[in-house]
A = this chain, B = another copy of it.
């Protein structure tokens, strides 16, 4: 099994946590998102992943993009330490929180959006920061109010779920962009608890071979 990713991509980071959590052996293949205009745009990679984004998982003949689809696939093939509740309503709530992060926070802040705001509309660094902080702040406020009802050690009680795998990389990103996280005590507590687990430590961006 091969995972094409980038150390600082929060979508790739989610998948790394799943792989380490389930103790699945994999080969990590770095795709440098910045160097030479971005290796994700090279034709060999675009053939694997037409969206020209990371991550991509290759498992035998299967070439799979989208981190949440990859994590669900891994969970079906390696059911140990499952990241999804069995009950349908609980599973749906977990998926919804994962999507609150993956659809409402992350896409507005990723590298290609930052680059486009600068190149097309001449936004300066401080404006790009205003943009990022706005969407992260709004998104985290919604997540915080959910966690007030559902969190235990992790986002949903004391069992790790895919929601935690989305939350930790997004908070890593927020810290990188110096968002004030003091209004989100439940988020901070859950992230602190996750970062006690070996899978989360192994998956940290700075612990990847391509970290700079």
Contact = CB atoms under 8 A, between A and B. Distances in A.
A50 B104 CA distance: 12
A142 interface: yes
Interface string A122-142: 010001001100100001011
Contacts of A93: 62, 64, 69
Interface stretch (A28-36, A71-79, A180-188): A71-79
Number of copies: 2
Contact of A96 (B66, B113, B141): B66
A106 B120 CA distance: 20
B99 A69 contact: yes
A40 to B, nearest CB: 12
A66 B100 contact: yes
B66 A95 contact: yes
A70 interface: yes
Interface string A81-110: 000000011011101100110111011100
A165 to B, nearest CB: 15
B121 A68 contact: no
A173 interface: no
Interface of A: 50-53, 62, 64-66, 68-70, 72-73, 76-77, 88-89, 91-93, 95-96, 99-100, 102-104, 106-108, 113, 116, 120-121, 123, 127, 130-131, 134, 139, 141-142, 145-146
17 contacts: A50-B145, A52-B142, A53-B104, A62-B93, A64-B89, A65-B100, A69-B93, A69-B99, A72-B95, A73-B92, A76-B92, A102-B103, A103-B107, A104-B107, A107-B108, A120-B134, A121-B121
